[in-house]
A and B are shown apart, each in its own frame.
Chain A
Amino acid sequence: MSNKVIHALYNDDDILMDAVKKVKSAHHHIDEVFTPFPVHGLDKAMGLAPTKIAITSFLYGLVGLSFAIWMTNYMMIEDWPQDIGGKPNFSWFLNMPAFVPIMFELTVFFAAHLMVITFYMRSRLWPFKAAENPDVRTTDDHFLMEIAIHGNEEELTSLLNETGAVEIKVIDKE
């Protein structure tokens, strides 16, 4: 069975938002919306779950902090407890203030980079990745809504026409 989808193009973000709400209230599932810039509230209107990426960042930060504490303790206190300028090396805590900058920087380093890598992996973005937006105008000034057709093509088309779509196309997806 060929998988048909409908592509509705809009040329304004407010019209798009209204359209998304209408399509949702008519109980159609919106597969995807492509926009040239972040349209605020679009994820809510589409019913997307909130992203958990900030939580991962917090955990990565904890990893960075633990790593810094382990590293300074191992290298400065356990492995070579040398007297460098009279700094106390009997315990990690005694010399702790001098390790704060390292602990801070490594926390930020881990939290930032691992979160960004997570984002690139989850959103499937990498240097030789081919673009998947179906219409080049969606990175300029058009907004595209993609809805799967389940034998209700005419009903959907008329609904989308009502919402102010400037262009409606039925596409065969293999």
Chain B
Amino acid sequence: MSSHYEAPIREPLVLGDKSYHDITVDIAKPIEGKANKNWYIAFTISLIAFLWGIGCISYTIGTGIGVWGLNKNIGWAWDITNFVWWVGIGHAGTLISAVLLLFRQRWRMAINRSAEAMTIFAVFQAGLFPLIHMGRPWNGYWVLPIPNQFGSLWVNFNSPLLWDVFAISTYLSVSLVFWWTGLLPDFAMLRDRAVKPFQKKIYALLSFGWSGRAKDWQRFEEVSLVLAGLATPLVLSVHTIVSMDFATSINPGWHSTIFPPYFVAGAIFSGFAMVQTLLGIMRKVTNLENYITRLHVEYMNMVIMLTGGIVAVAYASEFFIAWYTGSPYENFTYMSVGAATGAYGWAFWSLILFNILIPQFLWIRSVRRSFIGSFLISIAINIGMWFERFDIIAIVLSKGHLPSTWTRFEPTFVDVGIFIGTIGFFGVLFLLYARTFPVIAQAEVKSIMKVSGENYKKLRDGNHE
């Protein structure tokens, strides 16, 4: 077993005395079993929220954007806040599956499948907002450069909103094929285990006839690596392009060159927080505690600390630069004395509290390794990162260049209802996913068993206890 050497200092990534077959059984169990009462309760709640959201969306499209709380100065608020929030959440999935693959981080293997699912479902939610916040969503297809009967009237490639269209659709579709390709061996495992004919048929269809030949695996690994290499710059570019919706404008508070990296860091920060939230529940309800361990939680918390630190530095530099420019307009940006003491002071201080202060508890090792502690902190970050986007958008727009345009934004029940609807939709998708898809990439976990499995490590290193 000399080829499976790993430094003894490393903690095991798979706990317990597991064989390859045990991994198969553990991962197939939630799919082959029946859903329990809690699942149905959660699913019903999500479904109701989703239906409520559909109602609010229909009402908006049927009646007009005027049913939202927007006004003629604040033309973006909850819609784009939620859009950026959801896109940001999606970024952790790609980071875990692509960036951590490039860095050969073995701990990604237990969490990448769910993180990618989260990416895809979050990008679905994000993708709704660019459509429904249009005044005339039925003309939405005009954003595509399709030859047409208007003398071939094209789109304007100078607009970041058009870049968004390209970025989001590329991001969603590439994430989807990356995820699906990774799923083939796992679907094949379920196909070969299935006893019910219907289940067998479904998984045979989903697994594309995957047979696990040596040549298939060789190509599979190369494809995964190249896709990871493509997805890494993609994930950085997507949130960069989203940030350019703001950064390329002339609004004080938006017109800032720090936005691209800072939005990306914030996206990873909030995305990892959401992974933490979801996996905190998932590992319990699907009995995958031996795979999603304290070590995984700690590593994710470390990434959260790092990106949270980057975000905090960005806040500080925004605050400093707003003062340092000497421009009076910068006194009311989302990171300024004007914001801290103005009408949206509560939103400013929520941001500071949830994003900067609370995550600092993660410096304490016992908090970082505690399931409940990281769960609570991850919820705080989800809230804080929502406020970050809200502050950037609404506070900046509420006090523009002309004092006669200064105004306030109050959301209506439709704004709130659509946001709740997207959370419900996300819940519906994720709950269905957890019951039908292998939530852990079993083929990948099996490939690290001999290096990082607890039983193998003990055999190799000798029992130190």
B205 near A127 with CB under 8 A, answer: yes
Known contacts: A35-B212, A36-B20, A115-B226. The answer to whether A101 contacts B241 by CB under 8 A is yes
Instruction: From A79, A119, A132, A138, give the contact of B219 (CB < 8 A).
Output: A119
Q: Is B149 an interface residue (CB 8 A)?
A: no
Q: Is A105 an interface residue (CB 8 A)?
A: yes
State which residues 17-58 of A face B: CB under 8 Å: 32-40, 42-43, 46, 48, 50-51, 53-54, 57
Q: Is A120 an interface residue (CB 8 A)?
A: yes
Count the B residues whose beta carbon is within 8 Å of the partner chain — how many?
Answer: 68
Known contacts: A79-B152, A85-B158, A140-B20. The answer to whether A131 contacts B211 by CB under 8 A is yes
Considering only CB atoms, which chain A residue lies closest to B216 in the complex?
A123
Known contacts: A54-B226, A116-B177. The answer to whether A40 contacts B208 by CB under 8 A is no
Q: Is A76 an interface residue (CB 8 A)?
A: yes
B154 near A79 with CB under 8 A, answer: yes
Between A and B, 7 residue pairs with Cβ closer than 8 Å are A34-B213, A35-B214, A37-B20, A51-B218, A76-B157, A108-B174, A125-B184
Known contacts: A102-B163, A123-B216. The answer to whether A129 contacts B241 by CB under 8 A is no
A131 near B154 with CB under 8 A, answer: no
**A48 to B208 CA separation, bound complex (whole angstroms):** 23
State which residues 149-191 of B face A: CB under 8 Å: 152-158, 160, 162-163, 166-167, 170, 173-174, 177-178, 181, 184-185, 188-189, 191
A128 → chain B closest CB, angstroms: 7
A80 near B154 with CB under 8 A, answer: yes
A54 near B222 with CB under 8 A, answer: yes
Known contacts: A54-B222, A116-B181, A125-B208. The answer to whether A131 contacts B188 by CB under 8 A is yes
Instruction: From A40, A106, A112, A131, give the contact of B207 (CB < 8 A).
Output: A131
Q: Is B193 an interface residue (CB 8 A)?
A: yes
A39 near B217 with CB under 8 A, answer: yes
For the A-B complex, the count of residue pairs with Cβ-Cβ distances under 8 Å equals 201
Q: Is B16 an interface residue (CB 8 A)?
A: no
A37 near B166 with CB under 8 A, answer: no
A67 → chain B closest CB, angstroms: 11
**A84 to B155 CA separation, bound complex (whole angstroms):** 11
A112 near B209 with CB under 8 A, answer: no
Considering only CB atoms, which chain A residue lies closest to B187 in the complex?
A139
**A149 to B221 CA separation, bound complex (whole angstroms):** 31
Instruction: From B162, B208, B219, give the contact of A127 (CB < 8 A).
Output: B208
**A109 to B153 CA separation, bound complex (whole angstroms):** 24
B174 → chain A closest CB, angstroms: 5
Contact residues in A for B192 (Cβ distance below 8 Å): 131, 133, 136-140
Considering only CB atoms, which chain A residue lies closest to B163 in the complex?
A101
Considering only CB atoms, which chain A residue lies closest to B171 in the complex?
A105
**A137 to B233 CA separation, bound complex (whole angstroms):** 38
A57 near B19 with CB under 8 A, answer: no
Contact residues in B for A126 (Cβ distance below 8 Å): 208-209
**A84 to B162 CA separation, bound complex (whole angstroms):** 14
B209 near A131 with CB under 8 A, answer: yes
Shortest beta-carbon contacts, A-B, top 4:
A129-B209, A141-B20, A136-B192, A75-B154
A75 near B185 with CB under 8 A, answer: no
**A137 to B211 CA separation, bound complex (whole angstroms):** 11
B174 near A112 with CB under 8 A, answer: yes
B237 near A141 with CB under 8 A, answer: no
Instruction: From B181, B207, B214, B233, give the contact of A108 (CB < 8 A).
Output: B233
State which residues 398-457 of B face A: CB under 8 Å: 442-444, 446-447, 450
Contact residues in B for A79 (Cβ distance below 8 Å): 152, 154
Contact residues in B for A95 (Cβ distance below 8 Å): 158
State which residues 191-231 of B face A: CB under 8 Å: 191-193, 204-223, 225-227, 230-231
Contact residues in A for B217 (Cβ distance below 8 Å): 35, 37-39, 42-43
Considering only CB atoms, which chain A residue lies closest to B177 in the complex?
A116
Considering only CB atoms, which chain B residue lies closest to A85 in the complex?
B158
A62 → chain B closest CB, angstroms: 14
Q: Is B21 an interface residue (CB 8 A)?
A: yes
A112 near B157 with CB under 8 A, answer: no
Known contacts: A48-B214, A51-B219, A141-B24. The answer to whether A119 contacts B181 by CB under 8 A is yes
Known contacts: A36-B20, A38-B443, A51-B219. The answer to whether A109 contacts B173 by CB under 8 A is yes
B145 near A71 with CB under 8 A, answer: yes
Considering only CB atoms, which chain B residue lies closest to A99 in the complex?
B157
**A132 to B204 CA separation, bound complex (whole angstroms):** 11
Instruction: From A32, A57, A127, give the contact of B226 (CB < 8 A).
Output: A57
Contact residues in B for A141 (Cβ distance below 8 Å): 19-21, 24, 446
B22 → chain A closest CB, angstroms: 9
B459 → chain A closest CB, angstroms: 13
B227 near A116 with CB under 8 A, answer: yes
Q: Is B395 an interface residue (CB 8 A)?
A: no
Known contacts: A101-B163, A131-B209. The answer to whether A76 contacts B443 by CB under 8 A is no
A133 near B211 with CB under 8 A, answer: yes
Contact residues in A for B222 (Cβ distance below 8 Å): 51, 53-54
Contact residues in A for B173 (Cβ distance below 8 Å): 109, 113
Q: Is B77 an interface residue (CB 8 A)?
A: no
B212 near A133 with CB under 8 A, answer: yes
B118 → chain A closest CB, angstroms: 20
